[in-house]
Structure 1
Amino acid sequence: MNQYKEELNTFLVEIFHDILRLEETALAKDDFKNLSVHEMHVIEAVYDGNKEGLYSMSEIAARLMVTASTLTTSVKTLEQKGYLKREKQLSDKRYVKVCPTDLGLKAYCCHKEFHQRLVNGVAEKLKEEELVTLTTALSTLHQFFQSPKEDQ
């Protein structure tokens, strides 16, 4: 069993780094060379959050599992780069709505295409039953990582 745990550790570490490297390479090739992977993920969280009716800094921060101040720093940078915009609500000046700009939407779509190519590339290498097993195992892994930290 220890052999499998070592292999699992190696796979998790290497796959995490591989995906980050692939994302960095894809961003460097596209029109979005001025974005980091982290910034792209903030744009993605804002866009996906907006689709679910989440617009406030605190809602987006919760989605990303970061503090509001961490998100504020990222949003400020992305606003300066032209990818996001913040709007104070007229009815309540404390409420700040965060949305992607047209450039942010373009970056989001490009990044989404990258993920689709990645998933399609993996899926075409697997038989259907292997794909089912892999998605089941990854779902279990995701649930583990989402569980409260004291369980880990």
Structure 2
Amino acid sequence: MTLEETLNDLLVKLFKDILEIEAKSLITEEFKDISYNDMHIIEAVGIDEPRNMKTVAKLMSVTTGTLTKAMDALCEKGYVVRERSTRDKRVIKLRLTDKGKAAYYHHEQFHRQMIKNVADEMNDSEKEILVFALAKLVDYFKLTYYDTDEESEFVDWSKISRDK
């Protein structure tokens, strides 16, 4: 098998496995009333300051119309509440409830454990190489599949050192 074929096989398997394992890990008995996608919406709403629909939709790479239906269900199930902005009554802000925060932290814990398990097996040099390689992958997908007219979130390669 060539290097390119091996890399392709590894990436395809990695993407597939992450999606499957994350989905199985996130939807537990406690959170059986929401979907894997709902968990990512909860993550996009975040636990800090309330966010508006436009911001959450952008983070999810969907339209606000698409997000509205999912948000209706999350509000009905008690994970998210809508609040009118005190500055502009036309603006609706989204905030996680205690139940939503529990789901957020559950999701966050999955990611922390995944990173810990990977990082514990690597030395600092290997971690830097992995970060560099993954950042290049992220950049490739953004260049290939996202609207580049919007403000760039691309990685500044000059700030990533491969040498120590």
Taking structure 1 as the reference length, the TM-score comes to 0.85
Match of 1:9 in 2: 8
1: CA distance between counterparts of 2:138 and 2:109?
A: 22
Indicate how the Cα distance of structure 1 residues 18 and 87 shifts in structure 2: closer, same or farther if over 3 A, else same: same
CA distance in 1, matches of 2:116, 2:29: 20
Deviates more, 1:128-137 or 1:4-13: 4-13
Q: Residues 30, 15 of structure 1: CA spacing in aligned structure 2 closer, same or farther, 3 A cutoff?
A: farther
Pairing partner for 1:124 from 102, 106, 120 = 120
Flag the structure with higher helix content.
Answer: 1
What TM-score comes out, normalization by structure 2 length? 0.79
Structure 2: unaligned runs, 5 residues or longer: 148-164
Q: Which stretch shifts more, 127-136 or 36-45?
A: 127-136
In the TM superposition, 1:1-40 aligns within 5 A as 3-29=2-28, 31-40=30-39
How far does the alpha carbon of each residue in 1:36-62 deviate from its partner, in whole angstroms, 9 at most, with x for none? 2111010001116xx3x5611111111
Contact 2:45/2:96 (CA < 8 Å) preserved in 1?
Answer: yes
Q: 2-side partners of 1:26 and 1:79: how far apart?
A: 23
Matches of 2:52 and 2:91, distance apart in 1 = 7
Paired positions, count: 147
Misfit runs of 4+, over 3 Å: 89-93, 148-151
Give RMSD over aligned pairs.
Answer: 2.3
Gapped regions of structure 1 (runs ≥ 5): none
User: Which residue type is aligned with residue 83 of structure 1?
Assistant: Y
Aligned-residue identity in percent: 37
Instruction: Identify if the C-alpha distance between structure 1 residues 32 and 16 changes in structure 2 by more than 3 Å, giving closer, same or farther.
Output: same
Q: C-alpha displacement at 1:27, in angstroms?
A: 2.0
